[in-house]
Amino acid sequence: MNYVVLDLEWNQPDKSELVNPDLPFEIVEVGAILLNEDRQVIGEFTQIVKPVVYSEMNRITGKLIQLHTKELKYGKSFTETMKDFFEWCGENYIFCTWGTQDLTELQRNMKYHGMPPLATRPFPYLDVQKLFSIAFEEERKVRRSLEYAVDYLHIEQDIPFHRAFSDAYYTAKVMGEIKEVFVFENYSYDVFHVPTRREDEVNVLFHDYAKYISREFEDKTAAMQDREVISTRCYLCKKNLRKKIRWFAANPKHFYSISVCDKHGLMKGKIRLKKSENGIYVVKTQKFISQEEADEIIAKRDHIRELRREKRKAGTGNKK
């Protein structure tokens, strides 16, 4: 399998009232590096895209990426560019991007231009920004800039940053510095197209946690009443687990639980509610944790409960 390391530059109007809600960001440049399974460069792609919605380059964006309105006039159309790009990609590949936004905006632009979708359900890709954190940071939640990663790894900076091709080039260089094979097993999932059927939901097991991406629900109540959403099942031995701490809301969008597996120990569950076009969907992760980590979650729950009690008392006092 090959790797398509992709980076996009997009344009938007200077004034917010001129934003087209169907296309808030219009792609104006595509850059990509094709790597083989050994992460060696076997191809390059770069193309300026002629805009049809925002013909004038945003002043701030244009200054950052050094791309000007007059250059856009000589670009190819978006549909021509995509035809060339997907032919260049070949057949057996996975997308790799720095961060999570490029594939979303690519698909939004494809939809606007009436092109067939990349997929009709969530599909895996590699977020190299996340892979860098897993490989080189103690705290995996840390999100570093591409320039930081290049500096950290002492990669030679032989072309300027902030153009589609150059950022794809440096992202590929960062990938080449990641030696542990297990890091590349940490797929992310693009959810531009949320599952609409139970059979299209995602259940995937990584080396130290499990992830579930639900189908679309009408609202939070419907989601949190679904048996699969609120289930806590050991992802190693597949047994339904006894809950030590039932699901509680840390905030309107995040819920936590702690369950107990007699064989594998304490398991943290985390539910995140995310907006979709017609409602919401759920991303649930489950991971085995230490007693110390469990105590922190219990303390968080107790703190939230205390705040709610104080709020109710204050409300009762005001009524008097």
Q: Where are the domains of the chain?
A: 2-185, 194-308
What pLDDT shows up at residue 244? 94
Q: Inform me whether the pLDDT recorded for 231 exceeds 70.
A: yes
What pLDDT shows up at residue 131? 96
What pLDDT shows up at residue 292? 96
What pLDDT shows up at residue 54? 85
What is d(CA 79, CA 39) in angstroms, rounded to the nearest whole number?
29
256 pLDDT band, cuts 50/70/90, is very high
The encoded tokens of residue 211 equal: 């992830």
Bridge partner residues of 97 (DSSP): 127
161 pLDDT band, cuts 50/70/90, is confident
What pLDDT shows up at residue 80? 98
Q: Inform me whether the pLDDT recorded for 57 exceeds 90.
A: no
Residue pLDDT, tens place only, 4-34: 999 999 988 888 888 999 999 999 999 999 9
Query: Which residues, in sequence order, are CB contacts of 121 under 8 Å at separation 6+?
Result: 193, 195, 200, 202
The secondary structure element, H or E, covering residue 188 is: strand 188-190
Other Cβ atoms within 10 Å of 110 Cβ, number: 18
What is d(CA 215, CA 213) in angstroms, rounded to the nearest whole number?
7
Mean pLDDT of the chain: 92
55 pLDDT band, cuts 50/70/90, is confident
pTM above 0.85, yes or no: yes
Q: Which of 54-68, 94-108, 256-270, 275-289 has the lowest mean pLDDT?
A: 54-68
What pLDDT shows up at residue 15? 83
What is d(CA 98, CA 7) in angstroms, rounded to the nearest whole number?
8
What is d(CA 35, CA 271) in angstroms, rounded to the nearest whole number?
35
What is d(CA 202, CA 191) in angstroms, rounded to the nearest whole number?
10
The DSSP 8-state label assigned to residue 98 in this structure reads S
Other Cβ atoms within 10 Å of 118 Cβ, number: 16
Q: Inform me whether the pLDDT recorded for 320 exceeds 80.
A: no
For 2-185, the fitting CATH number among 3.30.390.50, 3.30.360.10, 3.30.420.10, 3.30.1330.30 is: 3.30.420.10
Phi, psi angle pair for 97, to nearest 5°: -135, 160
